[in-house]
Structure 1
Amino acid sequence: MTNAAIVILAGTESHSDTGRLVNGFEAAREFAENPDDDLELIFDGAGTQWIPELEAEDHDYHDRYRSVSDKAAACDYCAGAFGVEDAIDDAGVVTIDDNEGHPSIRSLIDDDYEIITY
């Protein structure tokens, strides 16, 4: 059994950001498909901007997002800072604020999660 926390930090501005997102989704899918693994998919920083884009059914990566969206969460502070808190709320994605408004990476490590960032 593996505990994995995949953290999407890449923004939406460049082709390389999109590549990081897709690589994150591929890793997330691999963990999600293994019933013995526990996956957390966290959109943090500029990565929170992806959620409203990926919610659009005509987005190229909508289906990849949907395949792991039940594991998705977003940084509460960053959702507000990047102006996407309403869209994240509308999408039904939970926000995490256990470390002064941000996700607690320390808590994940304490719970034996491997942290993988994209």
Structure 2
Amino acid sequence: MAKAAVVILAGTESHADSGRLVNGLETAREFAKTAGDEVELIFDGAGTQWIPELEDEFHDYHDLYQSVRDEASACDFCAGAFGVDEAIDDAGVVTLDDHDGHPSIRSPVDDDYEIITF
């Protein structure tokens, strides 16, 4: 039984960013599909920009995103800073603000989660 918090920090500007996103989503899906494992998927920083794109059913990675969407959350502060707060609210994705407007990374560490960043 493993516990992981997958944090997507990659923005939407380059092919490399897309690769990091896909690797992060695949990692989250692997944990989600493994019986007994626990996973949290956190979109933070520039990574918050992915949520409105991935919500589009015609996006190449929409289905992959949908496979882990129930585990997804986003940084409240960064969603506003990157101008995607309304789109994230409309999507119904939970925003986290438990550490000065940002998601706490310490809390999952304290709960024995491995932090994996992409």
Fold equivalence (TM over 0.5): yes
Q: Secondary structure at the match of 1:101?
A: coil
Question: 1:35 offset after TM fit, Å?
Answer: 2.3
In 1, the alpha carbon distance for the partners of 2:90 and 2:30 equals: 27
- Taking the aligned partners of 1:2 and 1:98, their CA distance within structure 2 comes to 24
Partner of 1:34: 34
Matches within 5 A, 1:1-118: 1-118=1-118
Deviation by residue 1:9-37 (Cα, 9 ceiling, x = unmatched) = 00000000000000001101100001201
Q: CA RMSD in A?
A: 0.4
Identity among equivalent pairs (%)? 75
C-alpha distance in 1 between matches for 2:98 and 2:31: 24
Deviation above 2 Å: which 4+ runs of structure 1?
none
> Residue type matched to 1:45 in 2?
G
Look up the equivalent residue of 1:95 and give its one-letter code.
T
Scaled by the length of structure 2, the TM-score of the pair is: 0.99
For 1:50, what is the secondary structure of its paired residue? helix
Letter in 2 for 1:111: D
TM-score, L = length of structure 1: 0.99
Counterpart-to-counterpart distance in 2, 1:108 and 1:13: 29
**Unaligned stretches of 5+ in structure 1?**
none
